[in-house]
Structure 1
Amino acid sequence: MPNLPDDDAWLLEEQRAIGDRIRVIRMRQDRTQESVYLAADIARSSYQEIEAGRAEARIGSLLRIARVLGVHVADLLRD
């Protein structure tokens, strides 16, 4: 069994990385946060927390964001 970290630092790091990927894709498309969260039918505060890496995004939210951005959800989860 692999050794896993005892703290949640790795989780916060992954959340930030996902948020960064969303932001980069959105900015490459010259889109505002507002255009994405409205099209994805996600609350503004929830979207902002996801993009900032401060929230654990639900899979439904990630699927909606990916659809609006025209990418596969896996593109948000991996480098």
Structure 2
Amino acid sequence: MPSAVPPPDWVIARRRVIGDRIRAARLHANLTQERLAELAEMDRQTINRIEQGHQSPIVDNLIRIADALDVPLADLVR
């Protein structure tokens, strides 16, 4: 089985921007990572990895996060 090809640098950079937007929205809502994770029905470690840009969030998780933050999904990914 072939190994996965790592994403190009520009994809990683965009992933970090999305994580920064999630973090900013979370802090604006005065939420901890733990509380956001509870509201989004996710675990805190996943929230942390997404905010740090270490994990690519799946669309379902982005929808959960946007809903928990009460922000449009587009605000997180544009």
What's the TM-score once normalised by structure 1's chain length? 0.86
Amino acid at match of 1:45: Q
In the TM superposition, residue 30 of structure 1 has moved relative to its aligned partner by: 1.1
Pair 1:47-2:47 in alignment: yes
Kindly report the root-mean-square deviation, in angstroms, between the aligned alpha carbons of the 2 structures. 1.0
- Equivalent residue for 1:3? none
Equivalent residue of 2:55, what SS? coil
**Gaps in structure 1 of 5+ consecutive residues:** 1-6
Where do 4+ consecutive residues of structure 1 move more than 6 Å?
none
* One-letter identity of the residue aligned with 1:52: Q
Residue in 2 aligned with 1:69?
69
Q: Aligned residue for 1:31?
A: 31
Number of residue equivalences: 72
CA distance in 2, matches of 1:26, 1:56: 18
Q: TM-score, normalised by structure 2?
A: 0.87
Secondary structure in 2 aligned to 1:61?
helix
2:16/2:52 contact within 8 Å kept: yes
Shift of 1:45: 1.4
